[in-house]
Amino acid sequence: MTSTQTLILWVLIFCNLFLNVKLLENGLARKPPMGWMSWGYYQCSVDCENNPSKCLNEKLLLSVADKFYSEGYMEAGFEYIIIDDCWSEKRRNQFGRLVPDKKRFPRGMKYIADYIHKRGMKFGMYTNIAKKTCMGYPGSRGYFKPDANMFARWGVDYLKVDGCFVDENFLNVAYIKLGEHIDAAERPMVYSCSWPYYIEFIHNKKPNYTTVAQHCNMWRNYHDVALSWDAVKAIITHYKDAYTELSPHHGPGKWNDPDMLILGTGALTDSQSRVQVSVYAMLSAPLLLSCDMDQLTANERELLTNLDLMAIAQDPLGVMARPYELTNSITLWVKPHLPKKGDAYNSVSFALVNLAPEDTTVSLAPGRYGLNSTDGYTIMDIFARTFLRNITLNETLNLTVPAEDVILYTLYPL
Ligand code: GLA
């Protein structure tokens, strides 16, 4: 060991022992998590007697696992099946434990986790950092350690922790504390925090993303997605505007989370669905569907199982695409990713996103956006799944982006 290496080692030991500087290196979520989460579509659908077709229960979770397994979603990377709020009884039991709703989850959560694990997928659950969840079910305040251990015992692989009903000082302390208990529990669990969302939008302060990224594997930044194209546009616009603030903290093990995909809910046209998935893939955002899996259209299924698109979403470098506003309605998102040619030349994806309701023509000179292979690039059209043509660094493409749609090209260095 050189003297510099010895010095670095001592500094690390010092920080660890005396300053309690801690990084979340739980080895999880090296790629943005993909899966399904109940909230966006099912919300708090607990009235199963009157509405059996929209009911948050065991059958629903098992059926998502079956669909992922048998319809190609699992092969495409969809892995986590996550139940959000409204899963428990209204009160803890006499030992202070959370109890799954006895009617809707008669065999408990471990049964569901085992079922999902047997099929090679992962299970996620939800709690809130306060005494109650956002919908008024028991939350984890006062029970961080027993709850973390209980989730671990049930076989939970991912924990979403919401932040309703507490002040910002509590948020800043409690997310770190609960994270330590999750880390110390026997089972590795992805820690998904809503912390910065509440700091920024409920308490009107700037989130400290350096701290958040040290303690959480992913975190919400913006309002809940509603089931509408307007909500999707607002999220995309927020990420465009917040790129400079968010992108330095984004990468393997730590992801900004723009909330769920709403494909399969009937809220989006096929082209709008393409926009939502493409932008999320370009951002390296978590891809969490929230829908009745039977309602996904054939086009949506094709999109979600498009392996070239999912390779962009799951690229190991995990770079958040950079936005360039080309016109009022067209944003170009540019994302470097693997494979590389040699050490120096990344592949790069370009997404031309049109949020406006009319077709728009733009000229695109890819060479202006950080491309460096002087031998040029070959272009693949991700949706047509074909190679288009080769291009040199100083060529320009004239492209018409249809209304509320996206053109997505990957350029591989020649
Ligand atoms: C908040 C969260 C949502 C969902 C609900 C559940 O609104 O942001 O994602 O978890 O609470 O009550």
Could you tell me what percent of the chain has a pLDDT over 90? 93
Pairing of β 405-413 and β 345-354: antiparallel
Q: In the annotation, is 308 catalytic?
A: no
In the three-class reduction of DSSP (H, G, I as helix; E, B as strand; rest coil), residue 79 is classed as coil
The residue ranges of every structural domain in the chain are: 26-313, 322-413
| Nearest-10 crossing angle of helices 144-154, 168-184 | 40
Q: What is the pLDDT of residue 12?
A: 46
Choosing among 3.40.190.10, 3.40.50.300, 2.60.40.1180, 3.40.50.2300, the CATH entry for 322-413 is 2.60.40.1180
Q: What is the pLDDT of residue 25?
A: 75
Q: Tens digit of pLDDT for each residue in 152-187? A: 999 999 999 999 999 999 999 999 999 999 999 999
Whether 21 shows a pLDDT value over 90: the answer reads no
More confident residue, 206 or 8: 206
pTM score of the predicted model: 0.94
Catalytic-labelled residue, pool 183, 224, 270, 292: 224
Tokens at 274, concatenated: 């393409």
Ligand 1 geometric centre to CA of 223 (Å): 9
Q: Tens digit of pLDDT for each residue in 334-371? A: 999 999 999 899 999 999 999 999 999 999 999 999 99
Residue closest by Cα to atom 4 of ligand 1: 39
Pairing of β 122-128 and β 287-289: unpaired
CB of 73 within 8 A of CB of 258?
no
* Helix count and strand count (H, E) for the chain: 14, 16
Fold match, 26-313 / 322-413: no
Tokens at 180, concatenated: 């330590």
Provide the CATH number for the domain formed by 26-313 in this structure: 3.20.20.70
Catalytic-labelled residue, pool 157, 162, 257, 259: 162
Which of 37, 46, 56, 85 should be mutated for ligand 1, with most atoms under 8 A from CB?
A: 85
